[in-house]
Amino acid sequence: MNGIVTRVLRRRGWVGRVEPSTGYGTTSWVRVLGRALLAPPGTSAGQATERDPASARRAVRGWRSFLTAQVPHASVEVRVGDVTTTVRADRGGYIDTVLEVELEPGWHQATFTLDGQRATSAVRVIGPEQTVAMLSDVDDTVMVTALPRPLLAAWNAMVLHEDARRPVPGMAQLYARWQRANPDAPTFYLSTGAWNVAPALRRFLERHRYPAGPFLLTDWGPTNTGWFRSGPEHKIESLRRLMDELPHVRWVLVGDDGQHDPQLYAQIAEEFPGRVELVLIRQLSVAQQVLAHGAPLPAEKERRATEKPEGPRTVLGPDGNALALRLIDAGLLPPRKR
């Protein structure tokens, strides 16, 4: 079916391109991520291309991010540093591969070429001396989305204009202060959102001055075991992979109490003792819990979900401003200079 759709769209002038996402790696390998797509002529939602460099900054309404068709098993040329290779996308058009390449720590660039169309993305290389990193949830942690209620989630992802999406108060400032205190530490963003929204998410983070970093998203749709993909499973597997890939790094994990983040972070800390340095949990209000769950979380259940005495230190707060104050009081973040 995908092959038939691809042929029909190509006859109508749809063009092949890659929608890349920020990658990461070490000084000996990098993981590059992207998706091979067909898009209508003139469509410019997503990463910049050589023909339309302004497209990366152009805000769109949510549904336009999904106005694409994948190119199953596309052959895509990828270049990172002095290494060029051809990788094959999977049946959903997704590119997720690890390349062996020697690079210095810091930011680098990956170039993807499909059907003569080029697109680039950043790659964060983490050196052996880097011992701490931050991983942040997205939905209701950095961006107010009211997930996982299906109708509200659909409205936020498909209908709401990008410029109307609201940041969680104080979180961008908290992340900026943490990064100033840890200037070489990378920031990762982990979400159950679809890869289709990666360009919109990148623009949102840039607009509100969040630190740049790799995205670890997922795909919507059926799997071999069910109609929908498991959000918690995606998060825990992504965390496990990072723990294995970067064994020298200790993690600051940031999330909220609306989507199992406290339980998942406690589980990963138990599986990898000593690897989780700190957990920051944004506490949703009663109204926000109703939007996310349909009912407020019982107080006792919330307490058990966010308190684990034998686990890593956990700091709770309703927004970034409160979390920052509590981190300062605990001596975990330097006070702001006057």
Higher pLDDT, 125 or 203: 125
**pLDDT exceeds cutoff 50 at 222:** no
**Percent helix, strand and coil across the chain, each rounded to 5?**
30, 30, 35
Q: Look at 36-50, 122-136, 146-160 and tell me which has the smallest mean pLDDT.
A: 146-160
In this structure, the dihedral spanned by the alpha carbons of residues 292, 295, 298 and 304, taken in order and rounded to 10 degrees, is -30
The residue count of the chain comes to 338
Q: Return the closest-CA partner of residue 51 out of 6, 107, 9, 113.
A: 113
Please give the Cα distance from 335 to 338 (Å, whole number): 9
Residue 332: other Cβ atoms inside 10 A? 17
Mark whether 284 and 240 lie in a shared domain: yes
Give me 164's structure tokens.
Answer: 């109307």
Angle between helices 320-329 and 171-181 (to 10 degrees): 40
Mark whether 110 and 148 lie in a shared domain: no
**Residue found under tokens 């992207």:** 34
Question: What is the full DSSP assignment across 212-276?
Answer: P--EEEE--S--SS-SS--HHHHHHHHHHHHHHH-TT-EEEEEEETTTTHHHHHHHHHHHSTT-E
Please give the Cα distance from 37 to 93 (Å, whole number): 7
Instruction: Give the number of domains in the chain.
Output: 2
Q: What is the CATH number of the domain that holds 258?
A: 3.40.50.1000
Measured in degrees and rounded to the nearest 5, phi and psi for residue 245 equal -70, -35
Mark whether 137 and 94 lie in a shared domain: no
pLDDT for 60: 43
What share of the chain in percent tops pLDDT 90?
55
Q: Which of 6-10, 200-204, 269-273 ranks highest by mean pLDDT?
A: 269-273
Give me 117's structure tokens.
Answer: 């169309």
Please give the Cα distance from 338 to 88 (Å, whole number): 53
Mark whether 136 and 119 lie in a shared domain: no
Considering all CA atoms of the chain, what is the largest pairwise distance in Å, rounded to the nearest integer?
Answer: 64
Mark whether 94 and 195 lie in a shared domain: no
Domain end marker among 98, 125, 152: 125
Question: What does the pLDDT average to over 59-73?
Answer: 59
Confidence grade of residue 306 (pLDDT, cut at 50, 70, 90):
very low
Residue 35 DSSP symbol: E
Mark whether 82 and 141 lie in a shared domain: no
Give me 248's structure tokens.
Answer: 């020298």
Position 167 in a domain: yes
Mark whether 90 and 147 lie in a shared domain: no
Q: What is the pLDDT of residues 166-176, one digit of tens each?
A: 899 999 999 99
Do the Cβ atoms of 184 and 131 come closer than 8 Å? Answer: no
**Residue found under tokens 């990762």:** 188
**Residue found under tokens 């109508």:** 12
Q: How far apart are the first and last CA of the chain?
A: 63
pLDDT for 152: 47
Position 75 in a domain: yes
Please give the Cα distance from 206 to 160 (Å, whole number): 18
Mark whether 113 and 206 lie in a shared domain: no
Domain end marker among 101, 125, 149: 125
Q: What is the CATH number of the domain that holds 39?
A: 2.60.40.10
Domain of residue 268, residue span: 132-329
Domain end marker among 106, 125, 144: 125
